[in-house]
Amino acid sequence: MINLSISPELKALWSPTLVGCLQYKARVEQHNELLWNEIDALCDEIRHTMTIDDIARQPHIRDTREAYKATGKKPSRYRVSPEALLRRIIQGKGLYRVNTIVDINNLVSILSRFSLGSFNLDRIQPPVVFGTGAENETYTGIGKGVINIEDLPVFRDSAGAFGSPTSDSERAMVTPGAERFLTVIISFSGILYEVREYLDITADLLWRYAGGHSFEQQIVE
């Protein structure tokens, strides 16, 4: 299992921080119709039961926004991923169709209201620390150009920062041909059993729709 820890500095700013880690092997496919039937059904339910104003009241999204404020980042400017996904759904824009791994990542994010990240494990150089971005630090976010990650909660390995609850970097993104992966569930709510539940749900979806196997999991406090 990959060596991952939470920096003392981040724990001091927001003590309930937890990271659920799922390491596994799977196949990357462009599209899975059965998976998208499940995603579309959930999106339809969200569109009929939620409004934009409801999003910030979701407990896990609210806690993540408060954690951003504690680290010094404006959550209204750097939207956390489940908030951004829910806004797209409610506004009728739908979700991007990327590949099976990323699509499952987004499905679990809108189910749980947690931020998730999925990475090509062969592009990560452990150990990994979940901390905050340094002064004037940036990286190229997936589909977002250069992102200012100063004070943003970020994952960092020996090559630098590569992921955050807002947007992951291009360096470790999931692409066709990748075989080994790390999916993280980021919780600023401090409730272990919820993270464990969604790790299991993620593993089941990966097994059903992406041939996932050789699962290892842990929760880092």
Residue 153 has pLDDT above 90, yes or no: yes
Residue 78 has pLDDT above 90, yes or no: no
Angle between helices 192-210 and 100-112 (to 10 degrees): 150
**What integer is the mean pLDDT of 60-74?**
95
Residue 17 has pLDDT above 90, yes or no: yes
Interatomic CA distance for residues 61 and 66, integer angstroms = 9
pLDDT of residue 143: 86
Residue 9 has pLDDT above 90, yes or no: yes
**What is the pLDDT confidence band of residue 75, given thresholds at 50, 70 and 90?**
confident
3-state helix, strand, coil in the chain (%, to 5): 40, 25, 35
Least confident of 37-46, 59-68, 138-147, 209-218: 138-147
* Dihedral pair phi/psi, residue 41, rounded to 5°: -65, -40
User: What does the domain layout of the chain look like in residue ranges?
Assistant: 4-220
Residue 144 has pLDDT above 90, yes or no: no
Q: What is the greatest pairwise CA distance in the chain? A: 45
Q: List the end-to-end C-alpha distance of the chain, in Å, as a whole number.
A: 15
Residue 76 has pLDDT above 90, yes or no: no
**What is the pLDDT confidence band of residue 63, given thresholds at 50, 70 and 90?**
very high
Residue 165 has pLDDT above 90, yes or no: yes
pLDDT of residue 35: 98
In the CATH hierarchy, which fold is given to the domain comprising 4-220? Answer: Phenylalanyl-tRNA Synthetase; Chain B, domain 3 (3.50.40)
Q: Is the separation of the CB atoms in 153 and 131 below 8 Å?
A: yes
Least confident of 21-25, 89-93, 141-145: 141-145
Interatomic CA distance for residues 24 and 192, integer angstroms = 21
Q: Is the separation of the CB atoms in 195 and 6 below 8 Å?
A: no
Average pLDDT for the chain? 96
